[in-house]
Structure 1
Amino acid sequence: MVIVSYYLYNVPFNIIDIHNKKDASLSNLPNPSPPRKKIMTATLVKNLNSGRGSYYGLDITPDGKTLVSGNKRGIEILDLQTGEPKFTLTKHSVLSVAISPDSKTFVSGGQDKTINIWNLQTGKLKSTLVGHDDEVLSVAITPDGKSLVSGSVDDTIKIWNLQTGKLKFTLPAHLRIVRSLLISPDGKTLVTGGVDIIKIWNLQTGKLKATLTGHSNTIFSLAISLDGKTLVSGSCDGTIKIWNLQTGELKSTLSGHQNCTWSVAISPNGKTLFSIGDDSYIKIWNFQTRELESNVYTHPGSVFSLSISPDGNTLVSGDYGNISIWRLFSQ
């Protein structure tokens, strides 16, 4: 065996015959540490305490500049950068809101069984749609801005012409309530959540395509990835379920929130999942690995609504009397 010793910076360094595998000077060297994995988290930018009751509806305009929020006392339209109010509207007690793709119009579903259509630039009421027999819990606008979908405690889904306000058709959707609904990015598929099942519909024909079972309590929130392939559902059974939207296959179940999971949202890049519930935390999940990356404490009590900006940098949460604006970053 041949060993040649040198001194590098006064530290002995051996060149060893490659057949010698038992050299102590190398075996004692520490193993290099693996690179630290970056995780997504959030920091609070601003907390807006209005004392106006629970915020059940939040939506951000496509340009990321304006927030529409709904609560039992009405509607607040805020500048998302400054947090300053643009309009405060008190037409009805609001349970859900949705903004049109062109940011010119927004709609609100109310406790008074009506749907109001508003001018987002002026805050003026454009029209009121009457047809549901109970509270309107969820509203959504199609990607082309032409149709409005609403879900109610009266068990039905109604599809409206957003320009004329005329009712196109009604679907007897769920046995008790339609608690949540969402339209796919291509505008062809409608997903609705009821007491414990999810239904998938052809939005053009109103034909039921599939029924998904697995939750054991009311489905309060839904999210669809921008590529239209993956559906996420949050329920009052405390779980989050991830489904293949094309096949209806359940891919995974995430458990983390105590009691209800009130709202879920997927980041625009499809890499991160956000959820909120009764336990005062925003949970941030790696959407690819399904691992929990961060627990962000909000404030005591339930957090009811969640919305993420189109650029994926800002998250807004709503609870009882508070709207919180968060900056998202990797660390």
Structure 2
Amino acid sequence: MERFRLKNPVLTRGLIAGLLAYLPTLPLLLGTALFSLGEVTLATPQPRIPDLGVESPLSRGTGSNSGFQGQSDRPIPLSWDNPELLLAIEGESATIQSLAFSPDGRFIALGGGRNDPRIEIWDLQQEKRIRHWRTYQNRVLALTFSPDGNTLVSSADGGAIEVWDVQKGELLHQFLEHRSNVLSLAISPDGRNLVSGGLDGIRFWDLENRQLIQVLLNLQPIYSVAFRGDGQLIAAGTHQGNIILWPVIPGEGTAIVGNPLPTSFQHDRGITTLDFTPDGDRLISGSFDATIKCWDLANRELLYTLVDHPSWIKSLKINPNGQLFASASRDGIRFWNLQTGEAMGFISSESDWAQAIAWYPDGLTLATGGLDRMVNLWRGGMGLNEDAIASDNP
């Protein structure tokens, strides 16, 4: 069953792109006549919404940000103290274990949980699922798109890493060198290399030629790996709570991983999730010890520690604007000021539903997925300084 549920009654099928791009005129659209036929909500709009072509339904009229490159091109940051639920996607998977947006924001990929290893691709422009297939594993633990958005890489608890054609839904290749659960994946910004972290260590791959280059920390459990935005640094978190950094050294044929850099980055328990800031100056880490830590990479020092979550950190993702990040745990989703660590918002959860989170590429929308098999898409409110910024930039 294919369902694209719109939680806000104004945001109806076929109108999402127009309405979200014209939020300032939203009060004029409240006269829209709505009626429901089964699971599909239809609308007769007044006035007519202009045709926005291929613009994504999650895009907002924020100027030039199509490439999502550079801080100056980012949309004005939103306030996340009271996020709004825009819409929800109901997948066929029993639970949602992993999420990923394509780099252009058109697609969102859903990975199923235990005993339902399904991958679904939803087209957010057409507002429908375009691909779905079952993998050869038990559950889908990690998903990541290639930088060009044409391929999707998945991993699972069977040890295989699978490379998929997004448009055709076809399996292109399997990497079978891991012998245990592969918990985390990251692709280099140029799309040439893949790093994978599993219970049997780290593997560094040539993604273009589909071959193994190096094995790191063999047989040591690794829960999270990440590439820095320039592709020149890899971070990994061990089950003992250590964070290890490796330089990536370009070569004539392919890159290789150099010797680990000396750091004292550590948690009391295993590292569950890692993410670099867009400028590459900081690294954020979450752990089984229920803390989040922010590290200064240049000075190799701890900047702050956050202890608000009552349980282990399942996921954290830095907003593409580089000013805030979101973290997921048993109590729900929390939003933080990246510079100071100040709490900026909270989405409460009465059940253990928050398994995976992902930012839409422009940073204005957060996707969350969990045990209720729903993917919820949240939008922040107007930032405190947005009016002042807008008045300075007529």
When the two structures are superposed, what TM-score results if normalisation uses the length of structure 2?
Answer: 0.70
1:223-238 to structure 2, matched below 5 A, reads 223-238=275-290
Q: CA deviation at 1:212?
A: 3.7
68-77 vs 122-131, which moves further: 68-77
C-alpha distance in 2 between matches for 1:122 and 1:51 = 19
Structure possessing the higher radius of gyration over alpha carbons: 1
1:115 aligned to 129, 138, 161, which one?
Answer: 161
Match of 1:124 in 2: 170
8 A Cα contact 1:118 1:126, kept in partner: yes
1:9-88 to structure 2, matched below 5 A, reads 40-50=81-91, 52-72=93-113, 73-80=117-124, 84-88=128-132
2:322 maps to 1:270: yes
2:214 maps to 1:169: yes
More helix, by proportion: 2
Match of 2:192 in 1: 146
C-alpha distance in 2 between matches for 1:330 and 1:287 = 18
C-alpha distance in 2 between matches for 1:76 and 1:67 = 8
Identity of aligned residues (%): 32
Q: SS of the residue aligned with 1:289?
A: coil
Query: RMSD in angstroms over aligned alpha carbons?
Result: 2.0
Q: SS of the residue aligned with 2:262?
A: strand
Q: SS of the residue aligned with 1:180?
A: strand
Tell me the alpha carbon deviations over residues 201-242 of structure 1, each in whole angstroms, 9 at most, x when there is no partner.
112333111344431122111111110001001112111100
Amino acid aligned to 1:201:
W
For structure 2, which runs of at least 5 residues remain unmatched after alignment? 1-77, 250-256, 384-394
Tell me the alpha carbon deviations over residues 83-103 of structure 1, each in whole angstroms, 9 at most, x when there is no partner.
521111102331111111111
Q: SS of the residue aligned with 1:203?
A: strand
Tell me the alpha carbon deviations over residues 133-185 of structure 1, each in whole angstroms, 9 at most, x when there is no partner.
1111111111111111111111x111111122111111116x74110010000
1:197 aligned to 242, 250, 264, which one?
Answer: 242
Tell me the alpha carbon deviations over residues 307-327 of structure 1, each in whole angstroms, 9 at most, x when there is no partner.
101111111111112211111
Q: CA deviation at 1:56?
A: 2.8
Match of 1:253 in 2: 305
For structure 1, which runs of at least 5 residues remain unmatched after alignment? 1-36
Match of 1:323 in 2: 375
Q: SS of the residue aligned with 1:315?
A: strand
Match of 1:104 in 2: 150
Tell me the alpha carbon deviations over residues 244-293 of structure 1, each in whole angstroms, 9 at most, x when there is no partner.
123321110011111111111111121112111011x2111122232112
1:301-316 to structure 2, matched below 5 A, reads 301-316=352-367
C-alpha distance in 1 between matches for 2:228 and 2:88 = 31
8 A Cα contact 1:70 1:96, kept in partner: yes
Q: Specify whether residues 52 and 267 from structure 1 end up closer, same or farther in structure 2 by C-alpha distance, changes over 3 A only.
A: same
C-alpha distance in 1 between matches for 2:268 and 2:83 = 31
C-alpha distance in 2 between matches for 1:185 and 1:274 = 18
Q: Specify whether residues 102 and 50 from structure 1 end up closer, same or farther in structure 2 by C-alpha distance, changes over 3 A only.
A: closer
C-alpha distance in 2 between matches for 1:302 and 1:81 = 27
Q: SS of the residue aligned with 1:306?
A: strand
Tell me the alpha carbon deviations over residues 83-139 of structure 1, each in whole angstroms, 9 at most, x when there is no partner.
521111102331111111111111001211101011112111111111011111111
Amino acid aligned to 2:103:
P
Q: CA deviation at 1:65?
A: 1.4
Q: Specify whether residues 330 and 168 from structure 1 end up closer, same or farther in structure 2 by C-alpha distance, changes over 3 A only.
A: same
Q: Specify whether residues 116 and 149 from structure 1 end up closer, same or farther in structure 2 by C-alpha distance, changes over 3 A only.
A: same
1:295 aligned to 340, 346, 349, which one?
Answer: 346
Q: Specify whether residues 113 and 209 from structure 1 end up closer, same or farther in structure 2 by C-alpha distance, changes over 3 A only.
A: same
More strand, by proportion: 1
C-alpha distance in 2 between matches for 1:140 and 1:298 = 28
8 A Cα contact 2:151 2:166, kept in partner: yes
Q: Specify whether residues 140 and 246 from structure 1 end up closer, same or farther in structure 2 by C-alpha distance, changes over 3 A only.
A: same
Q: Specify whether residues 197 and 302 from structure 1 end up closer, same or farther in structure 2 by C-alpha distance, changes over 3 A only.
A: farther
Q: Specify whether residues 187 and 91 from structure 1 end up closer, same or farther in structure 2 by C-alpha distance, changes over 3 A only.
A: same
When the two structures are superposed, what TM-score results if normalisation uses the length of structure 1?
Answer: 0.83
